[in-house]
Copies of this chain bind each other. A is one copy, B any other.
Amino acid sequence: MLVGNEFAMRTIGLSEIKSIIEGSTPEALLQCIEEAFVSYADGTATVPPVGHLGFTNPPGDMHIKYGYIKNDPYFVIKVACGFYRNQSIGLPNSNGLMMVMDARTGEPKVLLQDEGYLTDMRTAIAGAVVAKHLAPKSVEAIGILGTGVQARLQLQCLPWVTSCRKVYVYGRNCDKVTDYAANMCVHGFDITKCDSSAEVAQNCNLIVTTTASTEPLLVSDDIRKGTHITAMGSDVPGKQELAPEILAKADVVLCDSQSQCVDHGETHFAVGRGLLHPEDLVEVGTWIDAHLSRSQEAITVADLTGVATQDIKIASYVLDALELGDS
């Protein structure tokens, strides 16, 4: 066991990481992820393609996201695992860690053993950032598709950017919807359980999709004018939550990464069907950086597949909080 060695990488565990994030102001976290979007879009980040390892017995996936932002003192390597039968043996399905390395010497610096928490959080904060910049001025009701970890975290971050507490939720599993409603009520939301995703769309002008669906849950006719949709679910090839016609109908289609979304986001299906030109996509970071705003009647869609700059920025944020960031 390595203790006190001068080359030992400091390990920060989940509880310490959680207390840093939970002790932060929404403004600080929103700014952190806004900067992540912008650094990706304006090219100051170096982000190679995502590494992937697939397992079959039992089924699982490992993704490596890594990169650095110009002039940052460190670079970050994130390992994220999803093993979908873990729950049956009492383990969480997701796991992960981030390694922070010195960008001037290559030395290992800090191991953030966050068990996937930072990925969950940066993803949820990304949803709030997008809502801050894209949601209609007056959010009548928030629609949530899905009942999992992201369905909860996304909703918990939305009060940072909207005063709306009225929520319509749909999920395939009734018990999970009931659980979700009970949990979210505690956080001050007024939850209506819906029988279909169409019912959600009919009642809401800010919709967040967070499922692992592989076929569209929303079709074009479901979507009201003046709606913004953030599609979080399709982060790997094969996943799909929106009918491609929704993207064709939308006045603006945003994405976190043009190349990733065309490859495996919602955008992939719309581009593949000729309903959308890749050059019409606007990266979220470009939108933020240019201080663009929506027309209130517009339909806007943000397709988020997750980019390494979010991991880099949230890891840097934790390091700064630990006062390890400037060495």
Contact = CB atoms under 8 A, between A and B. Distances in A.
Contact of A60 (B13, B58, B106): B106
Interface string A36-69: 0000000000101001111100101010101110
Contacts of A14: 2, 5, 7
Interface stretch (A80-88, A147-155, A219-227, A240-248): A80-88
Contacts of A106: 60, 62, 81-83, 86, 95
B51 A79 contact: no
A108 interface: yes
Contacts of A163: none
A284 interface: no
A115 interface: yes
Contacts of A62: 66, 75, 101, 106
A37 to B, nearest CB: 20
Contact of A77 (B48, B64, B68): B64
A97 to B, nearest CB: 6
B79 A101 contact: yes
A99 B75 CA distance: 17
B86 A105 contact: yes
Contact of A66 (B5, B51, B104): B51
Tell me how many chains of this kind the complex includes. Answer: 2
Name the interface size band of chain A.
Answer: 35 or more
A106 B99 CA distance: 16
B9 A111 contact: yes
A251 to B, nearest CB: 37
A68 to B, nearest CB: 7
Given A62-B101, A79-B101, 16 more contacts: A1-B12, A2-B14, A2-B16, A5-B14, A46-B53, A51-B51, A55-B103, A62-B75, A64-B64, A79-B99, A79-B108, A81-B107, A91-B105, A91-B107, A95-B107, A95-B108
29 contacts: A1-B10, A1-B13, A2-B13, A5-B15, A7-B14, A7-B115, A8-B11, A9-B11, A9-B97, A9-B113, A46-B54, A48-B51, A51-B66, A53-B66, A55-B68, A55-B75, A60-B105, A62-B75, A64-B64, A64-B77, A79-B99, A79-B108, A81-B105, A81-B106, A82-B106, A91-B107, A95-B106, A95-B108, A97-B108
